[in-house]
Amino acid sequence: MDDLILLGHGSGGRLTTDLVRNLFLQNFSNALLKPLSDSARLTLDSPDIAFTTDSYVITPQFFPGGNIGSLAVHGTVNDIAMSGARPLYLSAAYIIEEGFKMSRLEEIVRAMAQAAAAAGVKIVTGDTKVVPRGQADGLYINTSGIGVHRQKPGYGPERIRQNDAIIVNGNIGDHGAAVLSSRAAGFTKAEIFSDSAALNHLVAKLQDNNIIIHALRDATRGGVGGILAELAEQAGTSFKIYESRLPVQSKVRGMCEIYGFEPLFLANEGKMVLFCPAAEAEKVIEIMHCDPLGQNATIIGEVIEEPEAPEYRVIMETAIGGSRIIDQPAGELVPRIC
């Protein structure tokens, strides 16, 4: 019995206290979490902060290259890093299905602790709810995060300028393909690994090198294509990208051919789209190539003026020389990938 999560673990009573002490406090071990009060007390080195939240409902909870726990840390760290802020503190809130295996939860919590340590963030507050069997599909996790801004103006679509270079830090579509392959082929046979990773250290390297960044966005749900379409709309401008330049690993390309998917719209969890003045682009690529998370960084396009078009849009020059409008997808190619 004590290998399964019970309703009582979410009651706020004795079982909750035991779970919090023996599992969460043990793994997330830090002085700020330790008082286990209703809120964590933090002293920041700046009152200029970034605040974000994300719930993770991915299925399956374990996939090649990570699990829902590491993903919940990476995703929220990245949301903060994309604004130019330095991620510092996370919350972790669990909604667990009654009967979920304690050993699985432990594995997830350990992955969160490791991901947090690697990203240099602390998990300082949390919550646990347990819902009856049949609900919550095992486990959902919400992480919210706080970061501190390093510089006055943040990044944003409103800063995107004509001729800006558009850069991605590596192969696209890996996360979506990994989740898909683990659903289709069973877990052990999957050979495509998620790119799930915290991008904050790579962003910090660019900042330390005084790179002028206009906009930065992680290409999660909707993939690089979805993010570009959204940014073009928000920026009120047009982008041109080149299909032949898109970095895609061959396994992902192969899977996409089988399923009729496009890597451009597959989710990533360790990829960002960066806009910078054209003059900065080579330096960005150089810095990224020196980092394990930027090995295949590529300039995939640029911001263009399109006087004939009445609206902002994303145009892709296809591999065979035609051109195609890239629009925001209405739904997801692969649902529940985060």
List the one residue out of 200, 166, 234 whose CA is nearest residue 79.
Answer: 200
Shortest Cβ 189–a second copy spacing (Å): 25
Shortest Cβ 80–a second copy spacing (Å): 5
Return the bridge partners of 120, or none: none
Shortest Cβ 84–a second copy spacing (Å): 9
DSSP states along 259-319: HT--GGGS--SS-EEEEE-GGGHHHHHHHHHTSGGGTT-EEEEEEE--TT-SS--EEEE-T
For residues 79 and 302, which CB has a smaller minimum distance to a second copy in the complex? 79
Shortest Cβ 29–a second copy spacing (Å): 18
Q: What is the dihedral of CA 45, 50, 53, 54, to 10 degrees?
A: -110
For residues 176 and 301, which CB has a smaller minimum distance to a second copy in the complex? 176
For residues 40 and 165, which CB has a smaller minimum distance to a second copy in the complex? 40
For residues 303 and 333, which CB has a smaller minimum distance to a second copy in the complex? 333
For residues 17 and 295, which CB has a smaller minimum distance to a second copy in the complex? 17
- List the 85-97 sheet strands across, edge first: 122-131, 85-97, 139-149
In the chain the first and final C-alpha atoms are separated, in Å, by: 30
268 neighbors 205 (Cβ within 8 angstroms): no
Shortest Cβ 279–a second copy spacing (Å): 25
